[in-house]
Amino acid sequence: MCSILGIFGLQPGDDSAALRVHAVELSRRQRHRGPDWSGVFVGDGAILVHERLAIVDPASGSQPLLSRDGHLALAVNGEIYNHRELRDASGYDFTTGSDCEVISALYRDGDPDFVNRLNGIFAFALWDAEHGRFLIARDPIGVIPLYWGHDAQGRICVASEMKALVGVCDDVAAFPPGHIYDSAAGGLRRYYDKPWREHAATEGTEVSPQELRRAFEQAVHRQMMTDVPYGVLLSGGLDSSLVAACAARFARDRVEDDDRSEAWWPRLHSFAIGLEGSPDLAAAQLAADSLGTEHHGFVYTFAEGLDALPEVIRHIETYDVTTIRASTPMFLLARRIKAMGVKMVLSGEGADEMFGGYLYFHKAPSAQAFHEETVAKLDALHSYDCLRANKSMMAWGVEARVPFLDLEFLDVAMGMDAKHKMAGGGRIEKAVIREAFDGALPEQILWRQKEQFSDGVGYGWIDGLKDHAEAVVTDAELASAAVDFPHNTPETKEAYLYRRIFDQHFPGQACAATVPGGKSIACSTPAALEWDPEFAAMADPSGRAVQGVHEQALAR
């Protein structure tokens, strides 16, 4: 995983040498994402800059990738998990062993829907000099961040992080997941649209526990392709523990050669963080002991988290309350992981969205409402948990992969009738995936109830943030919040504090508009707010705020 920056629409009279210097300087703002190498391509109509974090094929996979004839230039941030199958089926003249080069191969084949053949997490920019054409695309869920806009000369600019375009593009915006921009067609087109998005298409579909487990194990196995040291994030919650359990099963063999040889790093390392005495640290150690991982549980102090807060907001590029609360310990954890020489980790994001893991799903009135809310949560994931996991870890050059959002597994999990996922009435959330992995984890972990990451690292973290905001934001400032911040006006002192820091780094309404809603309360969509009147009045997004659910000890 890396960073990309592109400038398209260069004209014959443009000073390409000056623009090259300009592009390299903009790309430098996101070099933390790719500390291993920098590459630059300058063509008649485009400039591409790539900052590389070498995970697959470190020896020959530097970017931008050029075709043998020199007509194609490609810059990619991401991983293509099915690259070997695509490579074997292609007649393209490959120049590297990079998993990303299959994008050029598929484009050269001429299939207009070639992006749908990729199973991976990616954002890419491709320049075709022969036809004066360029493509920009982002993965279906938006695991990989991407922003775009126009500079003062009307050129299209694209970058992995918004900070690279601030002061350059007044109309900077998030590039939408599951979309492709093709300059030849002259517009943005959605390429990813699955039947399972409609509840009617899933009714009556059953997925056995064995099939669900096998599909997830295969997803984890696919995403373990790496030529560098890696590990797993292990909070002790269900999702990260399931990822760790599957990874532990495959860790001894090398995924890259179909498990025929011993892995280069056969001992699986796991990582957790929390305040002293946090629920997550205790649960993570229990899970690690069960799985036999080499576990590293790190303790941080409230003061250390508070010190990091401004830098966290600068890196994650949001003022969303829940995201910032959870990103800060993850940011601190990434730094410790990087110091140990690890460059890639597997993480558990996405399970709550597809299986209805948030506690308010207990209130869903019907299978259709449940399903529609999971689809809505997946659609928003790129602005919240995916953004957090990617940018918090990549702030230190650590790649986070998310097996629950593997596209093949997503088809299985979202294609099943939502009535099998529903919680409530004594049935715990995400029971269907828990049942599929019966016996794989200690009962205390397998049936542990949902806690948001910002709660699990220690309840003192959130309470301390509120107290700090109360001390540094005055009543008068909060009263004038609508004047200071007319778009997504903060409603609490904590939200005001984060917004103030955000605006120091990302001024202007366009930047503010990249954060949807400004806060992610327990029920984030209008439909879900109707499930229970109490939810609509909640100003605090902590999982503890869901009354009547969080502290219940639900029976299996």
pLDDT for 22-45, tens place per residue? 999 999 999 999 999 999 999 999
Q: Which CATH number fits domain 197-545: 3.40.50.620, 3.40.50.300, 3.20.20.100, 1.10.1060.10?
A: 3.40.50.620
Dihedral, CA of residue 336, residue 338, residue 342 and residue 343, to nearest 10? 140
Q: What is the mean pLDDT of residues 434-463?
A: 84
**What is d(CA 367, CA 241) in angstroms, rounded to the nearest whole number?**
27
How confident is the model over 76-109, as pLDDT tens digits? 999 999 999 999 999 999 999 999 999 999 999 9
Quick one: which H or E segment has residue 40?
strand 37-42
* pLDDT value for 253: 86
Paired residues of 135 in beta bridges: 126, 182
User: Residue 519: its pLDDT value, please?
Assistant: 46
Peptide bond into 64 cis (omega under 30): yes
Question: Lowest mean pLDDT: which of 51-60, 202-211, 375-384, 445-454?
Answer: 445-454
Q: What percentage of residues in the chain have a pLDDT greater than 90?
A: 83
Residue 553 has pLDDT above 70, yes or no: no
Using pLDDT thresholds of 50, 70 and 90, give the confidence band for residue 387. Answer: very high
3 state SS of 77: strand
Name the residue ranges covered by the structural domains of the chain. 3-193, 197-545
Give the C-alpha distances (Å, rounded to integers) separating 363 from 117, 382, 533. Answer: 37, 25, 11
Q: What pLDDT was estimated at residue 426?
A: 87
Query: Is residue 521's pLDDT more than 50?
Result: no
**Cα atoms in the Cβ-side hemisphere of radius 13 Å centred on 120:** 26
Q: Is the pLDDT score of 54 beyond 50?
A: yes
What are phi and psi for residue 425, nearest 5 degrees?
65, 35
What was the pLDDT predicted at 459? 77
Torsional class of 359: left (φ above 0), alpha (ψ -120 to 50), beta (otherwise): alpha
pLDDT at 455: 62
Give the global pTM: 0.94
Residue 397 has a pLDDT of: 97
Residues known to be catalytic = 2
What pLDDT does residue 415 have? 98
Average pLDDT over residues 119-146: 98
Given this structure, which CATH class describes domain 3-193?
alpha beta
> 3-193 and 197-545 share one CATH topology?
no
What's the rounded mean pLDDT across residues 2-15? 95
| Residue 15 vs residues 11, 22, 41, 47, 332: alpha-carbon distances, Å | 9, 11, 15, 12, 42
411: pLDDT strictly greater than 80: yes
